[in-house]
Structure 1
Amino acid sequence: MRGLRRAALGAVVTLLATAAQAQAPGRAAIASPHAEATAAARLILEQGGNAFDAAIAVSAALAVVEPYGSGLGGGGFFLLREAGETPRYRFLDARERAPGAATADMYLKDGKLSPSLSINGPLAAAIPGLPQALADLANAHGKLPLKDSLAPAIRLANEGFAVDRVYRDRAQMRLAALREDAQSARLFLRDNQVPALGTLIRQPELAATLQQLAAHGRDGFYRGQMAQRLVAGVRQAGGIWSLDDLASYRSVWREPLRFTLADQRELISSPPPSAGGVALAQSLAMLQRLPWQSAEPVQRSHYVLEVLRRAYRDRGLLGDPDYVSNPINKLLARSYLTGLTDGIDVYQATPSSALPPAPAWREGDHTTHFAVIDAEGNALAATLSVNLPFGAAFTVAGTGVVLNNEMDDFAADPGGSNSYGLAGSQANAVAAGKRPLSSMSPSFIESPTQFASFGTPGGSRIPSMVLLSMMGFLQGQPVQDWPATARYHHQYLPDVVEHEPGAFSAAEQAQLEARGYRLKDLGRSYGNQQVLYWNKQAGSVEAASDPRGVGQALVLP
């Protein structure tokens, strides 16, 4: 992991603004997981667009070059900062919704869960939210017409992009499923094999779909000929979408989760149906009561693991706020968080079995994330997803749209276990029109002197990754270190510490095991963080892209 930190030096760009301005950075910055997406955002900013126009361009470009991570067949969360003397924060929930014909037992066969039904093929697909979100962003906050912001992605889909190592890795993970669908195999494989590095992937059907969205706004996707084609393709292959499901889909503007931290800092993060914002607020609040900054490495890891254990225990209580009542006030009450912190043994791990029981869950971990800030101080952080790599591995013929498999994020069997063998949650049970719970956590931390943006793909590990990056920020570490930091994770159940290779030395592992932890080396790195930092006092703007990926961070001159 030390090599990652050195590699990160090439992924960060720092430029000073001409003057220190408390209200505007004076420069724009972008951090995205793909150079083509960063280039699309830069083009839109140079054409006079703001951060929100640039976000549309990035989202659409990622739909082209990262079909394994996001796309028009998926959804996501958008956290917005509107510049002003007093910034305004908004949260756009474009999470997918269960079809109207969905039922709580739709993935059971003979009373038992059949995991493949919620993973592969159109029955696994919820109604997409990304096309609606792009139209909403343009209508509510954009300076440019939607067609201008979508133009770079349309050109990219027509002209093609080159296969890189990340594409090959994700395609290999889902090779069998991609082979099962003729359209997906035609578009994303070559001779039924993972394409070689540098292979050009062209998607003219997706370009035409983007053109419809550009010309007609949300109705170009959710109504008319495009909607008919989507529904016909889904139903012919065994799915349950209807024209009404598409026509009635709406993204939702929600109030962001806001939580006061020390030193005039405030966490602005994702509310339900994200469980991530609550977990981050709880974790940061508990850490504030612990001497983590002065602790030696093993002791610091102990504190982090114990606050994560407690925060993750509570997430099973959350669900779609349009369907369930979320006890956020209770979970973020200072007295409650004090009690959680006081229950932490300074030297020994707390067995998860010793805590009050709660349902646990897991979700697909191959989403995507980006962040952008413009010269005026408007900013947006977004985490987008189709769930597993290439979603349901099903592409609707004639559209180029790869469908998500977000239905697997529901507790498919709330009375027993889901496809990961974890206890189900009634709050996250399948229901018609409902949004599944998610860990996606685009987040800001802001104070009178600083602004920072955080986020990453990674499924259930998202909050732990973001927390570790935020700790780097709170310690004053260089921006390039935030996404490069070695990662470890605890999510209450299973009661195990997952970690990247090299996250702990052999001596540190022995010390943690002596404290009662069970460690599991995942044998691979995970996550792909994109971060921004605006030092209002110094008048500097910085951006950094995770060295694990192939992204690009850029500060515009």
Structure 2
Amino acid sequence: MKRRFLNLLCPILLLSPLLAFAQQPGSPEKPPGAVIASAHALATDAGFETLARGGNAFDAAVTVSAVLSVVEPISSGLGGGGFFLLHDAKTGKDVFVDARETAPAAATPQAYLDKEGQLDRDRAQNGPWSAGIPGLPAALVHVAERHGRLPLVQSLAPAIRIAKEGFPVYGRLARGYAERREVMERYPGTREVFLRNGQPPKEGDLFRQPELAATLERLAAGGFDGFYRGTTAKRLLAGVKAAGGKWTAEELAGYRVKEREPLRFEYDGWDIVTAPPPSSGGIALAEMLQILEPWDLAALPQAERVHLITEAMRRAYRDRTFYLGDPDFVKIPVKTLMDPDYAAGLRATIHPGKATPSDLLSGAATPLEDEETTHFSIIDAEGNRAAVTQTVNLLYGSGLVPAGTGVLLNNEMDDFALKPGTPNAFGVMGYDANAPAAGKRMLSSMTPTFLSNADRIAVIGTPGGSRIITMVLLGILGYADGLDAPQVAALPRYHHQWMPDALGIERNALPADVVAALRAMGHVVVVPGEDNRGRRSSDAWGNMNTVLWDKRANTLSGGSDPRGNVGKARVVATP
């Protein structure tokens, strides 16, 4: 097996705990227990609560998803959407549950332009016009009914309890609110949820959400109709209208999740199962890894290795811009983009010692990494697997909570190409393939992924906006190098997305001499704390949560990103 970039590991990896236990060596048919890694300890523990009740990984996924919707409003929730990648150990079948939000009919491109014909960023990113029709509640119902064992009322019980009883506000929650406070406090329903005696949440406060608990109870009792029709739907529609937006009852009641066939390809002896469109992640992963596979990256100096990986990123993100969108609305050349011969053609355009200038520069800075979106990974004792990434897009989504619901709505409309060729909040842009249309799903970077070979099985994903795909790429390369889950979750990260033409890195991700060598090749390297000609890069990216079953030793390990602070990876042995 090739070894690629172990010398990129930070000293922190030497201290990463292995959450594992061993049985007798051999070729086990089932794991020796279960493992869950999520962005919040309450969600991880709630998942095990559901497993203890007789649920499987899919029931646990419903529980973890719902609890994260309560404790991480900064990142995801019932007002957003997500992707569920599921593996049924009994049948060997993989399925991708697409719960991406959809565009309301009123959300035409013209609705997002100001008087000068420029993109109205406030309307695109804040308030009712920025929100698509939510998909996550429908996904919870669908996964429970089609793939789980427990009734929804049981799998949602922990989330309802935590919403009623409350949980301690953590630093990220308070910091995010401070950043979005002006938008959040525009709306009466939001002020009702987040303000106490006129004061925003502070670290250590007990944060209770009784209205969200009641919404979850209606969902548990009524299933799909408990959210998309009846009391909750009426309150959502009224709240959107009161804030100046235009949703209809028919659009809400007409929302449907879609089960899609995952994408599959091979890399260095690994079978990879990943997200299809409307995710851009799977196709981009296939392009990047197939471009890189012929090179023995381990034999190269670090700067040359990073250069080649960066050039693969650049080419995949260029294709993302022009070709990808909702497959129900546009024809995507999936076979071509995932063809090894196509990757070989792209590989031939890479100069081994010189950066390729991007074809088009947006002139916009890559935004700082926000802490939006969340991911969790599960393997249960039967070998079922779940990789789930869910989001409300930017920090606290649209900022709008319709009164009486407790539901914070997403601002996913910004993920459409609302004005062709104009970058969105993540600095990426698109054209006709990702233009909004009634019922259409906006392109996403969420990339829940499975990896497997004869010896090991891994589940991986992360938040991080447009950086999600490259973080998953680096995680896959880490697993290919033999790392365990805590080490993969903590890997240093770098990213190129074609436009703007800049290689962003986390603080201390690359040594100074490697940065200098990359700059000598022509790369514009954006380093936190340096004068980067107006470009910015945050100190830390993402919040990866990944799990691994090492079949050789029959051990389980879970990695919750040390950047996240409140996440938890936990292994429980089979009794």
TM-score range relative to shorter protein: over 0.9
1:313 aligns with 2:329: no
Aligned pairs (5 A) from 1:69-148: 69-84=75-90, 87-110=92-115, 111-148=117-154
| Local SS of the residue matching 1:79 | strand
**Using the alignment, how far apart are the partners of 1:243 and 1:138 within structure 2?**
24
**Using the alignment, how far apart are the partners of 2:332 and 2:32 within structure 1?**
40
Of the three residues 279, 282, 285, the one matched with 1:277 is 282
> Displacement, 1:415?
6.0
| Local SS of the residue matching 1:407 | helix
> Displacement, 1:211?
0.3
Give the structure 2 partner of residue 2 of structure 1: 10
Give the structure 1 partner of residue 491 of structure 2: 485
**Using the alignment, how far apart are the partners of 1:208 and 1:354 within structure 2?**
49
**Structure 1: which amino acid aligns with 2:561?**
D
Which of 429-438 and 181-190 deviates more? Answer: 181-190
Give the structure 1 partner of residue 533 of structure 2: none
**Structure 1: which amino acid aligns with 2:13?**
R
> Displacement, 1:541?
1.2
**Structure 2: which amino acid aligns with 1:63?**
S
Give the structure 2 partner of residue 236 of structure 1: 242
**Using the alignment, how far apart are the partners of 1:77 and 1:70 within structure 2?**
12
1:449 aligns with 2:455: yes
| Local SS of the residue matching 2:155 | helix
Distance 1:354 1:208, change over 3 A: closer
| Local SS of the residue matching 1:60 | helix
> Displacement, 1:443?
0.3
Aligned pairs (5 A) from 1:522-541: 522-541=537-556
What is the RMSD of the two structures over their aligned residues, measured on CA atoms?
A: 2.0
> Displacement, 1:286?
1.2
> Displacement, 1:5?
2.6
Distance 1:287 1:420, change over 3 A: closer
1:465 aligns with 2:480: no
Deviations 1:452-510 (A, max 9, x none): 11100001000110111111100112322101111110001100011111112222211
| Local SS of the residue matching 1:92 | strand
1:552 aligns with 2:575: no
| Local SS of the residue matching 1:353 | coil
> Displacement, 1:186?
3.3
> Displacement, 1:187?
2.1
**Structure 2: which amino acid aligns with 1:185?**
R
| Local SS of the residue matching 1:174 | helix
Distance 1:416 1:158, change over 3 A: closer
Distance 1:403 1:346, change over 3 A: same
CA contact (8 A) 1:364 1:409 kept: no
**Using the alignment, how far apart are the partners of 2:427 and 2:87 within structure 1?**
39
Give the structure 2 partner of residue 434 of structure 1: 440
CA contact (8 A) 1:74 1:129 kept: yes
Give the structure 1 partner of residue 353 of structure 2: 347
**Using the alignment, how far apart are the partners of 1:147 and 1:70 within structure 2?**
21
Of the three residues 295, 300, 313, the one matched with 1:295 is 300
Of the three residues 392, 401, 405, the one matched with 2:398 is 392
Give the structure 1 partner of residue 557 of structure 2: 542
Give the structure 1 partner of residue 532 of structure 2: none
Which of 179-188 and 456-465 deviates more? Answer: 179-188
> Displacement, 1:19?
6.1
1:369 aligns with 2:375: yes
| Local SS of the residue matching 1:527 | coil
| Local SS of the residue matching 1:396 | coil
**Using the alignment, how far apart are the partners of 1:498 and 1:373 within structure 2?**
33
**Using the alignment, how far apart are the partners of 1:293 and 1:238 within structure 2?**
56
**Using the alignment, how far apart are the partners of 1:516 and 1:143 within structure 2?**
55
CA contact (8 A) 1:79 1:89 kept: yes
**Structure 2: which amino acid aligns with 1:526?**
W
Which of 361-370 and 218-227 deviates more? Answer: 361-370
> Displacement, 1:193?
5.0
> Displacement, 1:195?
2.5
> Displacement, 1:364?
7.3
Give the structure 1 partner of residue 267 of structure 2: 261
**Contiguous gaps of at least 5 residues in structure 1:** none
Q: If the length of structure 2 is used for normalisation, what is the TM-score?
A: 0.92
**Using the alignment, how far apart are the partners of 1:6 and 1:117 within structure 2?**
46
> Displacement, 1:525?
0.5
